[in-house]
Amino acid sequence: MSGASPSPEFSLELIALLPRLRRYARLLTGDRHAADDLVQDTLERAWARHLQWRPGSDLRAWMFSIMHNRRVDLARGERFSPLEDAGEPIADDPPGGEAATPVEPLDLQRAFDRLGAEHRQVLTLVAVEQLSYEETAQALGVPIGTVMSRLSRARQKLRIELAGGGSPIAAGGGRQHLTRIK
């Protein structure tokens, strides 16, 4: 790789992505300090490999992919706790727009925290970061069908949880599926 510095446009786009990177890192690590370390590692890798990024492609998806892969590498090395461990609340940004009762955001956060790590990741990338299914699949290194399946299950679990933990029928999920245990 050459010693060329990234373009000013690349640098500005990278800076603009910092809040999103930080939010996703908090989701992955569950800890503010570990998230900051993960963001720094991600930025260092992106800066060093800036020539691998294709101008015109979505820098956001490329950065989430780098972050996800770095998190997997770190988890394998047991530097961080497992993905399922959740520490502090994830949201840094205050909820915008509509006035809601104080219980609703707390209930949603609790329901979100009870989702598995794979479901939280997909839901965050698609619903919050607004990545396409294809971009999400690329960032996570999974097929698009897996993204769609995880997203569907995450949404269904949230509906059930927010409806009071009832059946999928009560939560508007349609047919109830039973699992037979032998």
Output the pLDDT for position 93: 42
Mean pLDDT calculated for residue range 75-89: 52
0.75 surpassed by pTM: no
Mean pLDDT calculated for residue range 61-71: 89
Sorting pLDDT into bands at 50, 70 and 90, what band is 78? low
Q: Which CATH class, in words, describes the domain spanning 100-171?
A: mainly alpha
The SS3 of residue 60 is helix
Range 88-94, long-range pairs (CB < 8 A, 24+ positions): 88/26, 88/30, 88/31, 88/32, 89/113, 90/23, 90/26, 90/27, 90/30, 91/23, 92/19, 92/22, 92/23, 92/26, 93/19, 93/23
Q: For the chain, where do the domains classified as CATH 1.10.10.10 start and end?
A: 100-171
Distance, CA of 86 to CA of 143 (rounded, Å) = 26
Lowest mean pLDDT among 4-18, 49-63, 88-102, 115-129: 88-102
Nearest to 28 by CA among 70, 77, 60: 70
What's the CATH architecture for 7-83?
Answer: Orthogonal Bundle (1.10)
pLDDT tens for residues 87-142? 444 444 444 444 443 336 667 778 888 888 899 889 888 888 888 899 899 889 89
140: amino acid identity, one letter: L
Q: For the chain, where do the domains classified as CATH 1.10.1740.10 start and end?
A: 7-83
DSSP letter for 89, please: -
